Chains A and B, each alone.
Chain A
């Protein structure tokens, strides 16, 4: 079983749609969780950290469910510019080791 698993997609949605991604992790001792965004053939960039209480940044909402060991990302009112791959990232046992999921690809169409 992979340490961090994501649905690879692609999720193909119209502009304005709401879309949600889930990510599961295997290490119950994981402490920190993040969503990164990666555009095609570019480097990943931090989208948002995920806090236990859930957090929101504009159209983006991240949730953490420790009991079920999954995190989610909700995007409301999708824009064409949201088209990218979204990487779920979990900090493992070592503070230096971040484990990346393989990413979920989102395509927003006009």
Chain B
């Protein structure tokens, strides 16, 4: 079945450590996104990528990095520079040209806790 797979589902990290969250999709979508969700808040865009080897900063990119070497994959690295990394991270994808542009297909999320 087509979909988006995120791993790990739960992750614990010590302060000062970098961690990489995986996101793989087999939907043949061009665009991929990373969002962060904190309790009681909406999703905030970290990074997005429209095509392979290209990506753009979202609203809260500081302390994060991404790569898009393959269409199917869009890993997110949470670096030690991210001051408050404990959150629920959601990866999503879609066809940017679909009309109306909107439906995002989400992975099940990765819950990161910094100890």
Q: Is A91 engaged at the interface, CB distance under 8 Å to the other chain? A: yes
Which residues of B line the A interface, CB within 8 A? Answer: 31, 33, 35, 40-45, 48, 50, 56, 58, 88, 90, 96-97, 100-104, 106-109, 111
Q: Is A26 engaged at the interface, CB distance under 8 Å to the other chain? A: no
Distance in Å from the Cβ of A21 to the closest Cβ of chain B? 14
Give the complex CA separation of A32 and B102 in angstroms.
7
Interface of B is mostly: loop
Residue of B at shortest CB range from A89?
B102
Known: A95-B96, A96-B48, A96-B50. A101 touches B103 (CB 8 A): no
The number of chain A residues with a CB under 8 A from chain B is 24
Give the complex CA separation of A49 and B94 in angstroms.
15
- Which of A32, A41, A43, A99 is B101 in contact with, Cβ under 8 Å? A32
Q: Is A14 engaged at the interface, CB distance under 8 Å to the other chain? A: no
Instruction: Name the A residues within 8 Å of B43 (CB-CB).
Output: 44, 87, 100
Instruction: Name the A residues within 8 Å of B42 (CB-CB).
Output: 4, 87, 99-103
Distance in Å from the Cβ of B2 to the closest Cβ of chain A? 15
Instruction: Name the A residues within 8 Å of B45 (CB-CB).
Output: 97-98
Distance in Å from the Cβ of B3 to the closest Cβ of chain A? 11
Distance in Å from the Cβ of A74 to the closest Cβ of chain B? 20
Asked if B106 and A91 sit within 8 Å, CB to CB, the answer is no
Residue of B at shortest CB range from A90?
B102
Asked if B107 and A43 sit within 8 Å, CB to CB, the answer is yes
Asked if A42 and B100 sit within 8 Å, CB to CB, the answer is no
- Which of B102, B109, B111 is A34 in contact with, Cβ under 8 Å? B102
Give the complex CA separation of A44 and B33 in angstroms.
14
Known: A8-B40, A96-B50, A102-B42. A42 touches B108 (CB 8 A): yes
- Which of A31, A43, A89, A101 is B90 in contact with, Cβ under 8 Å? A43
Asked if A96 and B106 sit within 8 Å, CB to CB, the answer is no
